[in-house]
Amino acid sequence: MSPTNYLLLSGLLFTIGAVGVLVRRNAIVVFMCIELMLNAVNLSLVTFARINGTLDGQVMAFFVMVVAAAEVVVGLAIIMSIFRTRRSSSVDDANLLKY
Amino acid sequence: MILAQVADSTAGNAGVGEAIVFWILGPVALAAAVAMIFARNAVHSALFLVLTMLSLAVLYMMQQAPFLGFVQIIVYTGAVMMLFLFVLMLVGRDSADSVVEVLRGQRVWAAILGLGFALLLVAGVGRTMFAVPSAGLGARAGNGNLTGIGQLVFTEYVWPFELTAALLMTSALGALVLAFAQRKPRERNGQRAAVIARLRGDRISPLPGPGVYATANSVAVPALLPDGSIAPESLSEILEGHEVDETPRPPADGHSLQGRRKELEPPSELASSAIDTAPGRSRPTSASEEER
């Protein structure tokens, strides 16, 4: 089995995450879909590291994980503060900048 | 045995054991990801995402990245998903998705877009990466993995690594600032205002307490009015609909004050709805079963 299968799996997971971001309304679930996309990219980075025979891809995946952790913390804090003011976690309700 | 065999493989192409693991865990990850999108409950979505991430962690370990596999488990499934669950529990009031479509046909278009994107990715990757020779990490796949990553992080990638520190600190501070809720001291009403509000309200007297200790040992037991009917206001709204075990009662005798009530129907609709599942009422269980 060639490592290409991992890339295909990664692509499919990324697609599922992207569709989830477009379809779901709950901000937290949208956020989870973004996490899924980041994970898919990590899988492809790890596969590339293996194909190239260097560790750089794994280091990049490591950095992606760090950035994702920071992003999750800030994003969830934003969702919570929006929920506190608007009593809703739906992405449709946060339309204050619209008018 | 399969795992040991896989861990030994440092070559670029996957062995049989790794293929078996891939063909088991890959579909599991895909199915869990699809289920995450379609789950109605946000908590179920989170748990499906945990499943996907765990299978991805095992795939990392198969892919000669044991360090990343463990970091995936510890950081993602351990910390990040728990954070998600905590926020879900805090926000959870309306964790169900709204069914109203704000943009017309958004879901259909999203599905079409996703299918097209998937086709594009699969075709592109399948064509270009079909027979790419895979070098494999060799000695850095097993025990040398962590030292290799450490070397890279502290030599070639030392500047991004330092930036990571700044990023983490900033995000921690940002989360503190964003999630901090300053509670304003509430304005207290004076005694006079409180009295006026009570006299102008619906009810002057305090609400009756529940029938604890009168007939049973539970707050879910309603208090009885002097005529033996049930005081609906004595039950907390939170307790409504909860089954409570009734303590065995002594048989009623004519002299005791707590004697068994007559089989009264509750005086109003409100009472019947509030009392339906409360055990203080002595009616045959089969009747209440039928009513449900």
Name the residue among A23, A59, A89 with its Cβ closest to that of B91. Answer: A89
Buried-exposed string B79-98: b where 16+ CB fall within 10 A, e elsewhere:
ebbebbbebbeebbeebebe
For residue B71, pLDDT over 90 is answered with: yes
Which of B177, B197, B229 is the last residue in one of the domains? Answer: B177
More reliable by pLDDT, B172 or A88: B172
CB contacts under 8 A, A 43-62 vs B, are: 43, 46-47, 49-56, 58-59, 61-62
Domain membership of residue A93 (yes or no) is no
Cβ pair B14, A2 in contact under 8 A: yes
Pick among B49, B140, B155 to test the A interface (most A CBs inside 10 A): B49
Burial class, A48, CB count within 10 angstroms (exposed 0-12 / middle 13-18 / buried 19+): buried
Domain membership of residue A97 (yes or no) is no
Q: Which domain holds residue A12?
A: 4-86
Residues in chain B closer than 8 A to A13 (CB atoms): 29-30, 33, 52
B22 and B87 both lie in a single domain: yes
User: Total domain count for chain A?
Assistant: 1
HSE toward the beta carbon, residue B169, CA cutoff 13 A? 6
For residue B99, pLDDT over 70 is answered with: no
What's the pLDDT at B1? Answer: 43
What's the pLDDT at B155? Answer: 93
What's the pLDDT at B136? Answer: 77
Q: Which domain holds residue B47?
A: 16-92
CB contact under 8 A, A4 and B33: no
Domain membership of residue B108 (yes or no) is no
A84: contact with B, CB 8 A cutoff: yes
Residue B68 pLDDT level (bands cut at 50, 70, 90)? very high
Residues in chain B closer than 8 A to A20 (CB atoms): 36-37
Q: For chain A, how many helices (H) and strands (E)?
A: 3, 0
Instruction: Report the mean per-residue pLDDT for chain B.
Output: 77
- Average pLDDT on B154-172 reads 94
Q: What is the pLDDT along chain A (99 residues), one digit of tens a residue?
A: 788 889 999 999 999 999 999 988 888 999 999 999 999 999 999 999 998 888 999 999 999 999 999 999 999 998 888 888 877 777 777 777 665
B112: contact with A, CB 8 A cutoff: no
Residue B273 pLDDT level (bands cut at 50, 70, 90)? very low
Tell me which residue has tokens 């976690």: A89
Question: Which residue on chain A is closest to B154 by alpha carbon?
Answer: A59
Alpha carbons B46 and B89: distance in angstroms, whole number: 12
Alpha carbons B72 and A43: distance in angstroms, whole number: 11
More reliable by pLDDT, B67 or B246: B67
Domain membership of residue A30 (yes or no) is yes
Please tell me which of A23-37, B89-103, B214-228, B256-270 the model is most confident about, judged by mean pLDDT. Answer: A23-37
User: Total domain count for chain B?
Assistant: 2
Alpha carbons B140 and B68: distance in angstroms, whole number: 13
Residues in chain B closer than 8 A to A31 (CB atoms): 84
Alpha carbons B115 and B146: distance in angstroms, whole number: 38
How do residues B107-122 score in pLDDT, each as one tens digit? Answer: 899 999 999 999 999 8
DSSP B180: -
For residue B203, pLDDT over 70 is answered with: yes
- Average pLDDT on B133-140 reads 77
pTM value is 0.70
Radius of gyration of chain B (CA): 32
Domain membership of residue A59 (yes or no) is yes
ipTM, two decimals, is 0.93
- Average pLDDT on B256-281 reads 47
Burial class, B174, CB count within 10 angstroms (exposed 0-12 / middle 13-18 / buried 19+): middle
CATH of the domain at B65: 1.20.120.1200
Name the residue among B18, B93, B117 with its Cβ closest to that of A1. Answer: B18
What's the pLDDT at B114? Answer: 93
Alpha carbons A93 and A88: distance in angstroms, whole number: 7
- Average pLDDT on B62-75 reads 91
